[in-house]
Amino acid sequence: MTQKLENINVTAFDAMPTPAEVHGRLPLSEKAARTVSHERNLLRKVLDRKDHRLFVVVGPCSIHDPVAGLDYARRLKKLADEVGDTLQIIMRVYFEKPRTTVGWKGYINDPFMDDSFQVNIGMEKAREFLLQVNELGLPAGTEALDPYGPQYYGDLITWTAIGARTTESQTHREMSSGLSTPVGFKNATSGDLTVATNAVLSASRPHSFLGLNNDGRVAIVRTAGNAYGHVVLRGGDGKPNYDTVSVAVAEQAMVKAKLPANLVVDCSHANSSKKPELQPLVMADVVNQIRNGNKSLLGVMIESNIEAGNQPIPADLSQLKYGCSVTDGCVDWETTEKMIRDAAVLLRDVLPERLG
């Protein structure tokens, strides 16, 4: 009667360093702390309609090469300074990739891209990269996929996304209620908005749930609720939802749920039919809607890298093309500059009027 009943399909439990240990090895610098605090406050003002600017989450679909990632960050910082009177630029820094079946799960899960899955190393490398980005004076946004991740690097994040596959998850709604950043919930992959509005509503309320404290102990996490949840329109079921009719429907859904009609448009995914070269058209449409009087569109997301498109992960990693995505396709740097500069020019005199 001693047959094994637990962990039948588990092959190992490899110890992870605690969040406190990782923080101790890679402490928050004064400059990075100033960046996070300042940019979070600015973003809250945008969502409260006390800052007229549009916020733009732009960057690689995922980080796989920190050298190219920092190259991109330095370029983006210069552009952010140029358009800062009109646009709040937040670098997209994604380390985790949700998978429907299989595939590379991201820099934290497999930092060496060789199926060695050295998550302990990946977590520290991710925190180190975020430190470097914030020390440039550039804020970072990421997707919270693993509920324990924010304990390791949440102090370096300005904006958080909950992806289309996890917006309906109770775990992610509870986690979001305790996050220190504004949180964007994407509509479902089917295009359904209800899961996103329900998620915003749920995350705005207090919760108690099992989580991880800084010492690596399982704890009962008790939250106060997050007042800065909002909906991200990313299209669904092969169809876009950034057009004026879809935006109006989303506004009505938010009002019906007694939530602020704060919307963000993801220029990628189904909104661009998974064709990265169409992202500028989506961005232009959003800009045009704002110029025509829309007041609910407060942000956009763009998948962008140094080089356009994407590439498969080769067996010989030395063959990887520098600055090119290994996940979703991206627009290149030149296109990114044009998208952002054009938006800044067209919105510079319009956005302040939205606060009137």
Dist. CA 242–CA 238, nearest whole Å: 13
Dist. CA 235–CA 273, nearest whole Å: 9
Dist. CA 86–CA 283, nearest whole Å: 15
pLDDT at 266 over 90: yes
pLDDT at 239 over 90: yes
Neighbours of 153 (CB within 10 A): 25
- Give the mean pLDDT of the chain: 96
The helix/strand/coil state of 76 is helix
The helix/strand/coil state of 194 is helix
Going by their DSSP bridges, the two strands 87-92 and 297-303 should be labelled as unpaired
CA 109 to chain centre: 17
Q: Which residue has the tokens 């704002």?
A: 290
Token digits of residue 185: 């919930």
CA 169 to chain centre: 17
Give the pLDDT band (50/70/90) at residue 116: very high
- How many separate helices (H) and strands (E) can be counted in the chain? 10, 10
Contact present, 134 and 158 (Cβ < 8 Å): no
Secondary structure element (H or E) that encloses residue 279, with its range: helix 279-291
What's the pLDDT at 281? Answer: 98
Domain extents in the chain = 19-355
Considering the domain 19-355 in this protein, what is its CATH number?
A: 3.20.20.70
Token digits of residue 335: 């296109």
What's the pLDDT at 227? Answer: 98
Give the pLDDT band (50/70/90) at residue 2: low
Give the pLDDT band (50/70/90) at residue 1: low
Span 321-347, average pLDDT: 98
Span 182-189, average pLDDT: 97
Tell me the percentage of the chain whose pLDDT exceeds 70. Answer: 99
* Range 78-86, long-range pairs (CB < 8 A, 24+ positions): 79/336, 79/337, 79/340, 79/341, 80/138, 82/341, 82/344, 83/340, 83/341, 83/343, 83/344, 85/53, 85/344, 85/348, 86/53, 86/54, 86/343, 86/344, 86/347, 86/348, 86/351
pLDDT at 159 over 70: yes
What's the pLDDT at 290? Answer: 98
Contact present, 241 and 250 (Cβ < 8 Å): yes
Side-chain-facing half-sphere of 138: CA atoms under 13 Å: 30
Span 244-267, average pLDDT: 97
Dist. CA 256–CA 330, nearest whole Å: 35
